[in-house]
Amino acid sequence: MSTPQIMARGLDVRIGKHHILKDVAVDVPPKKITVIMGPSGCGKTTLLKCFNRLIDLTENVKVKGKVIVDGQDIFAPGVDVIAVRKKMGLLSQRPYPLPMSIYNNVAYGLRIHGTRGHDTLDAKVKHYLEAVGLWEEVKHRLREPATALSIGQQQRLCLARGLAVEPEVILCDEPTSALDPVAAKKVEELLVKLKADYTIVLVTHVLRQAKKLADQVNFIYLGEIVEQGPADELFANPKETLTKEYFSGEIGY
């Protein structure tokens, strides 16, 4: 197996008095879909937020341990947080388009990272909207506000916006939980397509989705990793009782 793109070791997170993550170790292999699965409130999102240091924005948070991205510990002092975040796209539970036009939502990231010139911007915006299958739907209304799109379209726009920054990793935090089944399916298909070029970390509590998309699975419960391994093995015969109970629907949901 190739070197993991993201490695968490001894990751321990406390927010206020709550012990959210307990000594977590996770490997995220490159160009695969790594699923982080578990019931609501078990620390999945917190783990995801550690990967791009979005956790910094949380109040009263204490992080111990290491998260190594491309060989560099991103929690080490002196790390350029902006560079870390630029490497990671994030798709959140609900789409939050920026308060600007469809076009500018995609162009925003390009502009702040130094892309100039109308032609270059136009071409790139088109490219990334095509990458998420949105171009045909919006090419005549690029100047309209992003909020004029449906939720599903907004979610794909947010994905395009993230891709425009040219990340290596896409972090997905239950990206389909606010979408209708058709829109959710489109996003799932996109993720499968995108793993050819990107490393994907998918947080989900939908077992069906995990089974469909995962290459690598981490089952997390109450802040601890219960079981991890390749998807086919883990789904075929889970070793831990907790995992079995989760699969059978006895815990969680």
The residues that touch another protein, with contacts defined as CB under 8 A, are 52, 54, 57, 82-83, 85-86, 88-90, 92, 94, 96-101, 108-109, 112-113, 145-147, 158, 161-162, 165
Distance, in Å, from the CA atom of 142 to the CA atom of 144, rounded to the nearest integer, reads 6
**Min CB(82)–another protein separation in Å:** 5
Distance, in Å, from the CA atom of 195 to the CA atom of 218, rounded to the nearest integer, reads 18
Give one word for 33, left, alpha or beta, with left for phi > 0 and alpha for psi -120 to 50: beta
Is 108 or 135 the residue whose CB approaches another protein more closely? 108
**Min CB(97)–another protein separation in Å:** 6
Is 112 or 123 the residue whose CB approaches another protein more closely? 112
Q: Which of 238, 216, 219, 234 is nearest to 1 (CA)?
A: 216
**Min CB(144)–another protein separation in Å:** 9
Helix axis angle, 118-131 to 151-163, nearest 10° = 120
Is 60 or 237 the residue whose CB approaches another protein more closely? 60
Q: Which of 174, 237, 233 is nearest to 47 (CA)?
A: 174
Is 146 or 217 the residue whose CB approaches another protein more closely? 146
**Min CB(201)–another protein separation in Å:** 13
